[in-house]
Amino acid sequence: MENKTEYTINCDCTQICDRCKPKSVKDGVPEYYKGKDGYEARKVVENFDLNYNLGTATTYILRAYHKHDTAKDCIKKAIHHLQFELEIIENGKA
């Protein structure tokens, strides 16, 4: 199987700049979703049988320092999904 590289623009600019460096994609999985030993975030989520909110928060945390220049946005998104899950628990729906 050949390795493919997908080029995407990850910021609001109209051309590829330092902020939106191309991200390598092999086997259809972006590198920022893989750990140093090749573990994929989605497989970790599946292995622990996490629901949507916990699984999404986990993937945001796992990719936090790998997708963007800072982890700020990924961490905020993870917190939002954890808050959604807390609301479900507090409302007795879990």
Residue at 68 is within a domain: yes
Residue at 47 is within a domain: yes
What does the alpha-carbon distance between residue 74 and residue 67 come to, in Å, rounded to a whole number? 9
The model's pTM is 0.65
The tally of domains found in the chain comes to: 1
Range of the domain at 59: 18-90
Q: What is the pLDDT along the chain (94 residues), one digit of tens a residue?
A: 344 444 444 555 555 454 554 455 666 777 777 777 778 888 889 999 999 999 999 999 998 988 888 899 999 999 999 999 999 999 998 6
Gyration radius from the chain CA atoms: 16
DSSP per-residue codes, 34-59: B-TT--BHHHHHHHTT--HHHHHHHH
Residue at 11 is within a domain: no
Residue at 37 is within a domain: yes
Residue at 70 is within a domain: yes
**How far are the Cα atoms of 9, 11, 39, 92 from residue 24, in angstroms, in the given order?**
12, 16, 16, 42
Residue at 74 is within a domain: yes
What does the alpha-carbon distance between residue 14 and residue 58 come to, in Å, rounded to a whole number? 31
Residue at 4 is within a domain: no
Establish how many alpha carbons lie within 13 A of residue 40's alpha carbon, considering only the half-sphere containing its beta carbon: 9
Residue at 9 is within a domain: no
